[in-house]
Structure 1
Amino acid sequence: MKGSAIMQKNHVTSRIVVTSAVTMLAAFALAGCGDDSNGSSPTTVELSNNMGDPLGQVEFVEVDGGLEFNADVENLDPGFYGFHVHEIGECEPESQAPDDPNNTGDFLSAGSHIAGEEDANHPEHAGDLPTLLVKEDGTAQMSVVTDRLGASQLMDFDGSAVMIHADADNFANVPDRYLGDETEPDEDTLSTGDAGDRLACGVIEGVVEE
């Protein structure tokens, strides 16, 4: 009788554990659906430097209110880094800029920031995102939702590219007190926020329409 009671107790315990596990899995599934109410799936972009070394990844997904970016970056020195989306899905080291073949450098094949408005300056480009803060352990995590971009812009016929720059992005914020009578922000400030060289790049593939 005692052995039978123990077996019955264990059977009941097992049912409780299994039921609890199923309940937890259902809760996680519902929570996952809540994060992405429009039902779209995340797209993952792998980042690498000019030597091909992996530096992490960025996911983006359409959510209510815009496009959500989730960055998980590693193997960088601590500090701030410019973080943008560029207009062409090509990450070629030592390449030519599409608008100036004489201008060569790492990942210049990705073109400029996705501008949105034709005459937009930094930081009003559609592809301008907040600066990454890399911690002392060389990693950075960031989540941001922007209403300036949609997935269709990123995945157009020539794709696009996620870019990490070597320097901090000043968002073209030059207070008037630092300007002389004839001094104005130059092209580097107005186009990139002085974010410097292109340190890491990840291709977002374009969708070819039939």
Structure 2
Amino acid sequence: MLRNTRLTVVVVLGVGVVMLSAAGLGEMLPGRDGALASAVIKNADGQAVGSLQLEDAGNGKSKITVGVTNLPVGYHGFHVHAKGVCDPHSTDPATGSPFFSAGGHFDLGSHPHDHHTGDLPSLLVGADGTGTASVVTDRFRASQLFDGDGSAVVIHALADNHANIPDRYRNAEGAAGPDAETLTAGDSGRRIACGVISGS
């Protein structure tokens, strides 16, 4: 029996279990005593559009919980990036995307997308501009995000295809499979929001 109108979808992916829902921002991230790290996520105009908390999930795993509001409806690429700098005036020379200061995807190695350490499932935003997600991953621990240049969480304009390009498609060179852009960021497009991850 339906008890309310909120829709919750559970998706099982390689990095863990993701819960996506439309909710009011006030419901998204209740206070948690176990938070090891957090971030305030802002758009390119400097307005807060969400927040993130990272907790120890045990057994070498980390739990990431994010809540957003006032974002475009649909799926958005959602990743941990390599540098803890969210400067909206730092733009990608090729695309003009803001938050170029956050660097590429956080990675403890030389992995292609979607095997970067900081690659996460796409974030679903509902028709009211809000969304939440909770992800459990064994790819990193909170302490690893606080290296010399820190880290940031970035939300992109488009969905992340996770480099899932079947061989029937061709890249610009005519070869089967993903092209360089897909292997870098999953064709998730411009960076529309960013938050520096800091210790709680």
**With structure 2 as the length reference, what TM-score do the two structures score?**
0.76
Deviation readout 1:138-192 (Å, 9 max, x if unpaired): 1111111100011122112211000000000000100112237634422110000
Is 2:77–2:159's contact at 8 Å kept on the other side of the alignment? Answer: yes
Structure 1 Cα separation of the partners of residues 77 and 175 of structure 2: 28
Tell me the equivalent position of 1:67.
Answer: 62
Q: Secondary structure at the match of 2:168?
A: helix
Deviation readout 1:99-140 (Å, 9 max, x if unpaired): xxx55641000100012222x110000000010010111111
The one-letter amino acid of 1:83's match is F
Tell me the equivalent position of 2:100.
Answer: 108
Is residue 133 of structure 1 aligned with residue 133 of structure 2? no
Is 1:44–1:60's contact at 8 Å kept on the other side of the alignment? Answer: yes
Is 2:43–2:194's contact at 8 Å kept on the other side of the alignment? Answer: yes
**Cα RMSD between the aligned structures?**
2.2
Which is helix-richer, 1 or 2? 1
Structure 2: segments with no counterpart, 5+ residues: 1-31
Is 2:168–2:176's contact at 8 Å kept on the other side of the alignment? Answer: no
The one-letter amino acid of 2:183's match is L
Tell me the equivalent position of 1:117.
Answer: 109
Q: 1:88 aligns with which of 75, 83, 87?
A: 83
Quick check: which has more Rg, 1 or 2? 1
Matches within 5 A, 1:1-80: 40-65=34-59, 66-80=61-75
Deviation readout 1:48-82 (Å, 9 max, x if unpaired): 01110111101111221311000111111210000
Is residue 155 of structure 1 aligned with residue 146 of structure 2? yes
Query: Identity of paired residues, percent?
Result: 46
Structure 1: segments with no counterpart, 5+ residues: 1-35
Is 2:108–2:117's contact at 8 Å kept on the other side of the alignment? Answer: yes
Deviation readout 1:17-50 (Å, 9 max, x if unpaired): xxxxxxxxxxxxxxxxxxx9xx953422100011
The one-letter amino acid of 2:86's match is C
Query: After the TM superposition, which segments of 4 or more aligned residues of structure 1 sit over 4 Å from their partners?
Result: none
The one-letter amino acid of 1:122's match is H
Is 1:158–1:205's contact at 8 Å kept on the other side of the alignment? Answer: no
Q: CA deviation at 1:203?
A: 0.4
The one-letter amino acid of 1:173's match is N
Structure 2 Cα separation of the partners of residues 198 and 147 of structure 1: 25
Q: Secondary structure at the match of 2:119?
A: coil
